[in-house]
Structures are given as structure tokens and as C-alpha cells.
Structure 1
Amino acid sequence: MDKPKKKVVKKKKDEEKGEDEEKGKDEEKDEKKDEKKDERAEALRTCGWRMRTFIISFILGVCCAVTGTCTLYIPGLGLGPFALLYTAGNVCCLFSITALIGPKNQLMTMFAKERAVATVFLLICLVLTLVSAIQWNNSILALVFCVIQFLAFLWYKHFITPS
């Protein structure tokens, strides 16, 4: 008579053990869901920060370029302030892309085999524009480098933009 009682008790223990395992699995699933929610929330925060930084730096870049262009029409300023502001605007626009896709991806994209020449040419133009405006005080040369910088930026954008 003791044997059937042992079987019943054993069945109950096995059932409780199975319920505990199911509860443990449910808890693990809940933890994984919570982790995924946290990851999604972090991704959204990061995405939001990147978008805000992109928008702010892009608008700042456009404002610098437009302000620089406006300085061309102010008598007595010369081309130096234009060259400085225009170059600062282009640098801000480059930074805006970096904020959007991340610095590592930006550098990998900029110096990929098919884009490296355009990138180096653009960076050289940026530097030469600043040097001609600040160091050499040569406004005409700064203007020439600004035009070349504009063309280099178009060339660079042509290679960056997916086909």
C-alpha cells in the first residue's frame, strides 16, 4: 500500500518540478524581452542624438556658408572672411555626416578605394583655402581655392552618394 502513495507523491514532485522549470523559462523569456526593450530604447536615444547632431551641424554649416557669401557684399571686408566662413560651413557639413553614420563608418567611407582621391583632394582644398586666407592673406587665391573647394565637395558627394 505504500507504493501507490510514493508514486502519487513522486508525481506531484515531478509536476511541481516541471512547473518550476516552466516558471524559470518564462522568467528568462521576460528578462530577454526586457533586455531587448532596453536595447531598443538605447538605440532610439542614440539615433535621436545622432539626428539632432546631424541637423544642428548641417544647419550650422549652411548658415556659415550663407553668412560667408553675404560677407562678399560688405565693402572693406575682403575675401578672407568669406573663405573662412565657407570652409567652416563645409567642415560642419562633413561633421554632420559623421554624426549621422558614426566616425568609424565615415572614415571607412571617405577613404574607401573608390573615394580616397576625392576625399584627399577635398581635404587639401579645405586646408589650402584656410592657409591662403589666414597665413598668406591672399584673398584672390582664397577665392580660387573656395571655387575649387566647391567643385571638390561636389566630386566628393558624387562618390559618397549611393548610385
Structure 2
Amino acid sequence: MWKQVQSLFSDQEDDEELQENLLDETEGLCNISPKQRLYAFGVCSLAGIICMFLSMVVFVIPIKFAVLFTFGNLLAVGSTVFLMGATRQLQMMFDPVRIYATSIYIGFIVLALICALLIHSKLLTIIAILCEILALIWYSLSYIPFARAIVSKVMIRLFDTEI
């Protein structure tokens, strides 16, 4: 390791050697067995669910609630990276079928955190969290074939305003 640090301050000829050494060290980090992937998925999902339930304990403090709930959401949604890989996860998230749902969901995550951490508005934080929950539901429905179309038709029939 000390040689790598020293090579940072040496001439550029050693840069290629340093890059090769760093690549060799990180090459095996992503090679985990299917059993380890399932364990990581389970632990990450469970941690997300625990954070979401803990957020209910601090519900009266909207800022803590927003941070815990959003962190739990991100852990739960991100846990699928262990099952399919980060590249495949991002491809699915930004697939033309669900790009709008993903963008809206990520937008409300950012908005909820901004309302909680920067603006410190309890009312805006609660509204942003409610929108985040609805966006998460809509995003989740995008993975079930025809689910969004069915929900849309049901909502139109339930809330039809024709007299």
C-alpha cells in the first residue's frame, strides 16, 4: 500500500502500474455467490423495512420521520441490486415503460429530503412524504404487467364526476 502512495507522487510512468494494481484489488469485490446475494438482499430489505417502521415511531417529528422513511425506502428498493446487479437495475428503472414513474419517485425523494433537511417545514415535509408514498406505489405497479392500467381504470370509475 505504501508503494502505491509513493507512486502517486512519482512520475507518470508508474501511473499505469498503479491503475493495474488498483483494478486487481477491486476485481473480486463484485463476485459474490448466489447465496450471499440472497443474504445481502434479505438484510438490505429487512433494514429498509425496519427503518420504515422506526419512522412511524417518530411520526410526530416530521423531519426525523422523512429522513428515516426515505432512507428505508431507498434501502428496500436498492436491495434488488443484489439480485440483478446495479446495471440491470438501472436499465429497468429507466426503461421507457417506467421512466416517468422512476423520475417522479426520485423527484419526491429529493423533495421530501429538501423539505425536511433544508426548509424545515413540517407541513411541506408531510405533503412531500405522502407524494413519495404515492409515487412509490405507482413505481412498484410498473413492475406488474397491466397493473397501472387496471388501477387507472378503477380510479376513473370510482371517482367519475359525471352526474
Determine which structure has the larger helix proportion and give its number.
1
> Are 1:64 and 1:85, in contact at CA under 8 Å, matched by a contact in 2?
yes
1:46 aligns with 2:29: no
1:156 aligns with 2:139: yes
Q: Which residue of 2 aligns with 1:35?
A: none
* TM superposition shift of 1:162: 4.6
Q: Which structure 2 residues correspond to residues 122-141 of structure 1 after superposition, within 5 A?
A: 122-141=105-124
* TM superposition shift of 1:105: 0.8
Q: C-alpha offsets along residues 109-142 of structure 1, whole Å, 9 cap, x if unaligned?
A: 0000010000000000111111100000011111
After the TM superposition, list the runs of 4 or more consecutive aligned residues in structure 1 that deviate by more than 6 angstroms: none
> Are 1:80 and 1:133, in contact at CA under 8 Å, matched by a contact in 2?
yes
Note the residue ranges of structure 1 that are not aligned, 5 or more in a row.
1-44
Task: Identify the match of residue 62 of structure 1 among 49, 52, 62.
Answer: 49
Q: Which residue of 2 aligns with 1:143?
A: 126
What percentage of aligned pairs have identical amino acids?
26
> Are 1:109 and 1:160, in contact at CA under 8 Å, matched by a contact in 2?
no
Distance 1:114 1:102 in 2: 20
Distance 2:145 2:89 in 1: 14
- Report which of the two structures shows the higher radius of gyration computed on alpha carbons: 1
Q: C-alpha offsets along residues 37-95 of structure 1, whole Å, 9 cap, x if unaligned?
A: xxxxxxxx52112111110010000000110011125xxxx210000000001000111
Distance 2:38 2:144 in 1: 18
| Bigger RCO (CA 8 Å, 6+ sep) | 1
**TM (normalized to structure 1)?**
0.68
Q: Which residue of 1 aligns with 2:95?
A: 112
Q: Secondary structure at the match of 1:160?
A: coil
Q: Which residue of 1 aligns with 2:82?
A: 99
Q: C-alpha offsets along residues 1-36 of structure 1, whole Å, 9 cap, x if unaligned?
A: xxxxxxxxxxxxxxxxxxxxxxxxxxxxxxxxxxxx
Note the residue ranges of structure 2 that are not aligned, 5 or more in a row.
1-31, 147-163
Distance 2:124 2:34 in 1: 41
- Paired residues in the alignment total 116
Which amino acid counterpart does residue 43 of structure 2 have in structure 1?
A: I
Q: Which residue of 2 aligns with 1:87?
A: 70
Q: Secondary structure at the match of 2:56?
A: helix
Q: Secondary structure at the match of 1:113?
A: coil
Distance 1:49 1:161 in 2: 27
